[in-house]
Structure 1
Amino acid sequence: MEYTFLGRTGLKVSRLCLGTMNFGPSTDEKEAFSIMDAALDAGVNFFDTANVYGGENRRGWTEEIIGRWFAQGGNRRERVVLATKVYGPMEDENDGPNMERGLSTYKIRRHLAASLKRLQTDHIELYQMHHIARSATWDELWEAFQALVQQGTVDYVGSSNFAGWHITLAQAKAKERHFLGLVSEQHKYSLFCREPELEVLPASEHHGIGVIAWSPLAGGLLGGNALNPDAGSRTANQAKAIEKHRSQLEQFSALCKELGESEANVALAWVLSHPALTAPIIGPRTLKQFEDTLRAVEIKLDSETLTKLDEIFPGPGKPAPEAYAW
């Protein structure tokens, strides 16, 4: 496994981040335990989750599974850089009118305490805002997060699904408080979703914020089974997406065959090639799916291959702010 620093911090994390969203709804606890054990054995020390994972009426389920895995001992907790998130509703009647999506000092305090209990730990390495909170000021949010860092319950603060403007404003407000601010941004990024190259990636790179890519396989489109007629049933939306992008998928598959690599691993290697990227999030449902992704960190795409991928999956244009300058 390869490692890199998380943004401008001195913390090293694996270049693959284990996503756990499937644990519970799609992956039973026994398989989830096997995947997490295999991740540690392979050197993957970066695990991502969220308090809302588990599905409607089961929010928190995924964190509970991870907590029971930690409780087995064997230095599992000590070996993991754990990331979780706060923002969404947790179906807790005690939240009252504060149950809705959003952030506040009140909600951050309550939801962190609940996450720690489910995860059976006393601290979180990376606590992430799952979305931008438009009804809260940065003065309130940074005061709340600073207190958690000072208490030792949170090491670093990250964001998710922020725009470039949000990132820049957040860092400016953190600097006013002499606070480190954001160290990571978790964002949707793949060969099929390159809009972040316009704003989010340049802003993150400028501010020393490590980008963690979610959905790097575009919801499975780049996973290698999209063109397989025997891959099983698909939803109407999935079938529609495959037909819409069939030409690109066929060209991509042909290129991967030339390289002698799987589509999924080439797609992950492409994400890893961007200088702003810390790690893509892999979300395996099975142990085999996890094991198959480990090859991605070993693949180094040359300039000719990167050019071919640009031709198949065109980017959005020049990076910001040059895309808007003339």
Structure 2
Amino acid sequence: MNTVGDDRLHTRLGRTALRVSRVCLGTVNFGGRVAEPEARELMDHAVDSGINFVDTANMYGWREYKGYTEEVIGSWLASRPSLREQVVLATKVGNPMSEGLNEQGLSARHIIAACEASLRRLNTEWIDLYQMHHVDRDAGWDEVWQAMELLVQQGKVRYVGSSNFAGWDLAAAQEAARARHFLGVVSEQCLYNLTVRHPELELLPAARAYGVAVLPWSPLHGGLLSGVLRKTAEGRAVKSAQGRSATALERMRGTIERYESLCADFGRDPAEVGLVWVMSRPGVTSTVIGPRTPGHVKQALHALEAPLSDEETARLDELFPPIGRGGEAPDAWLT
């Protein structure tokens, strides 16, 4: 792994001094879509290419069993022990891990127990970024922060992040942490891409105000923006023919047809265009990709070096317009 800092590839995680790659290796496909040997090859390729940021969740791998993906990563780290000091390892807590009443959410009990379980599966003594997978409106922030503070004090967690929060959730969490003299949330992982632009209204402004890193997930909307129509015609659609992408395609086929035609006019691959757009958005720190092959990783890294022109960005805005008048709420809604 290249440990030399490169401002094109690495940046600070929000207001912290921690440096992470601008491409984050997401592991949601490990298990079911990517077998363990291929997953290890993907992780090797990513870190050897300069990516130092690896993201997972305790419930990933559910196609095999919940916790499977953390075990795959833990086995990989055991095979390359020198990497643990170089890799910024992120996981998540909050989604149900079993049918048990207390095996989900953000109670102090579950946060602490889930962290211990993740540490065992990941074969590590600490988690660099421990993310709340979803907001839990039954858990008060004093309870959440009490648990997180304990894990930080014990050296088991370095930083705390959030995922799938609204802007006001981020503000509430941060104000509660501030009252406790705790660092609080340093990153927010959100769904953000050309087809989903609502984070621009309140989440991105809140993140900027509090110095919170923004980590978009599903930058290609499950493959919808990766050239799904061309791949389907060629019989190459895999992920893009399923789930989020297939559902969205039913209502957006005309727009996606124009998108793929527009990308052809640009002389660019649709997946590259979608990635470049997200990576270049103001406030975005690192983009979480879910690759299935080393080629997908290479494509994401290339996207960092291939910015869109002003004209290309304008044409994409015409096709995928921002909400309302664009910009932040409430100005986006003013007439």
Q: Under a length normalisation based on structure 1, what TM-score does the superposition of the two structures give?
A: 0.93
- AA aligned to 1:231 is G
The answer to whether the Cα contact below 8 Å between 1:266 and 1:299 also exists between their aligned partners in 2 is no
Map 1:1-326 → 2, pairs under 5 A: 2-55=9-62, 58-91=65-98, 96-99=100-103, 101-228=104-231, 229-232=233-236, 234-235=241-242, 239=246, 241-317=248-324, 318-324=327-333
Q: CA deviation at 1:155?
A: 0.7
Residues 1:48 and 1:240: Cα distance change in structure 2 (over 3 Å): closer
Q: CA deviation at 1:8?
A: 0.7
Gaps of 5+ in 2: 1-7
Q: Under a length normalisation based on structure 2, what TM-score does the superposition of the two structures give?
A: 0.91
For residues 236 and 175 of structure 1, the distance between their equivalents in structure 2, rounded to whole angstroms, comes to 39
Gaps of 5+ in 1: none
Q: CA deviation at 1:235?
A: 4.9
For residues 64 and 246 of structure 2, the distance between their equivalents in structure 1, rounded to whole angstroms, comes to 29
Q: How many residues align?
A: 322
For residues 251 and 111 of structure 2, the distance between their equivalents in structure 1, rounded to whole angstroms, comes to 41
Q: CA deviation at 1:257?
A: 2.5
Q: CA deviation at 1:294?
A: 1.9
User: C-alpha offsets along residues 93-132 of structure 1, whole Å, 9 cap, x if unaligned?
Assistant: 8xx4312x31111111110000000000000000000000
- AA aligned to 2:150 is A
Percent of aligned positions that are identical: 50
The answer to whether the Cα contact below 8 Å between 1:225 and 1:231 also exists between their aligned partners in 2 is no
For residues 296 and 262 of structure 1, the distance between their equivalents in structure 2, rounded to whole angstroms, comes to 10
The answer to whether the Cα contact below 8 Å between 1:53 and 1:63 also exists between their aligned partners in 2 is yes
Residues 1:97 and 1:57: Cα distance change in structure 2 (over 3 Å): farther
Residues 1:83 and 1:299: Cα distance change in structure 2 (over 3 Å): same
Q: CA deviation at 1:217?
A: 0.2
Q: CA deviation at 1:324?
A: 4.8
RMSD over aligned Cα atoms: 1.9
The answer to whether the Cα contact below 8 Å between 2:291 and 2:297 also exists between their aligned partners in 1 is yes
Q: CA deviation at 1:302?
A: 2.3
Which deviates further from its counterpart, 67-76 or 247-256? Answer: 247-256
For residues 151 and 247 of structure 2, the distance between their equivalents in structure 1, rounded to whole angstroms, comes to 45
Q: CA deviation at 1:254?
A: 2.8
- AA aligned to 1:199 is E
The answer to whether the Cα contact below 8 Å between 1:31 and 1:287 also exists between their aligned partners in 2 is no
For residues 300 and 76 of structure 1, the distance between their equivalents in structure 2, rounded to whole angstroms, comes to 31
Partner SS for 2:51: coil
